[in-house]
């Protein structure tokens, strides 16, 4: 579960873009498309060409879902920490205007350089 007050999230791993497509594509604006999809145990993060969508799956059955839309236009800064020898995960911290810091942790297989490039293309 994402907790914006705590700025923590479970470790995300890259998954097929279809993992959440059926749930989020009805919310898309014209021209919006999925760029990358990452999943923790049940929760996930989808990067589109317009925004970041955080999916928080709730309840025992997982039928209830919370969707948080984080537009790239509200990102003020970001920081990335790559995986090391003993610390095998990567971290992405994003500072959003009016929301504060959101921290996403990725497993070592995630290409955080690609994620940073994608964010930079939309923010800078």
Residue that has been written with the tokens 């993060």 in this structure: 45
Q: Which residues of the chain have pLDDT under 50?
A: 1, 7
Phi then psi for residue 23, to 5 deg, are -85, -35
* Tally of domains in the chain: 1
User: Is 2 part of any domain?
Assistant: no
Pairing of strands 11-15, 34-39: antiparallel
Phi then psi for residue 10, to 5 deg, are -70, 165
Query: What domain range is 35 assigned to?
Result: 11-123
| Secondary structure E strands in 16-89 | 34-39, 44-48, 51-58, 64-71, 75-81
User: Is 30 part of any domain?
Assistant: yes
User: Is 84 part of any domain?
Assistant: yes
pTM as predicted: 0.86
The pLDDT score that the predictor gives to residue 57 is 86
Q: What is the CATH number of the domain that holds 33?
A: 2.30.29.50
User: Is 5 part of any domain?
Assistant: no
User: Is 77 part of any domain?
Assistant: yes
């Amino acid at each position: 579960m994402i907790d914006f007050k705590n700025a923590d999230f479970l470790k995300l791993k890259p998954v097929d873009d279809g993992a959440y497509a059926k749930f989020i594509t009805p919310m898309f604006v014209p021209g919006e498309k999925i760029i990358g999809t990452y999943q923790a145990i049940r929760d996930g993060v989808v990067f589109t060409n317009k925004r970041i969508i955080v999916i928080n799956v709730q309840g025992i059955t997982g039928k209830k879902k919370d969707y948080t839309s984080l537009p790239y236009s509200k990102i003020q800064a970001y920081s990335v920490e790559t995986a090391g020898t003993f610390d095998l995960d990567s971290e992405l911290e994003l500072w959003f205007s009016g929301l504060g810091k959101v921290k996403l942790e990725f497993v070592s297989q995630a290409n955080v350089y690609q994620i940073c490039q994608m964010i930079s293309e939309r923010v800078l």
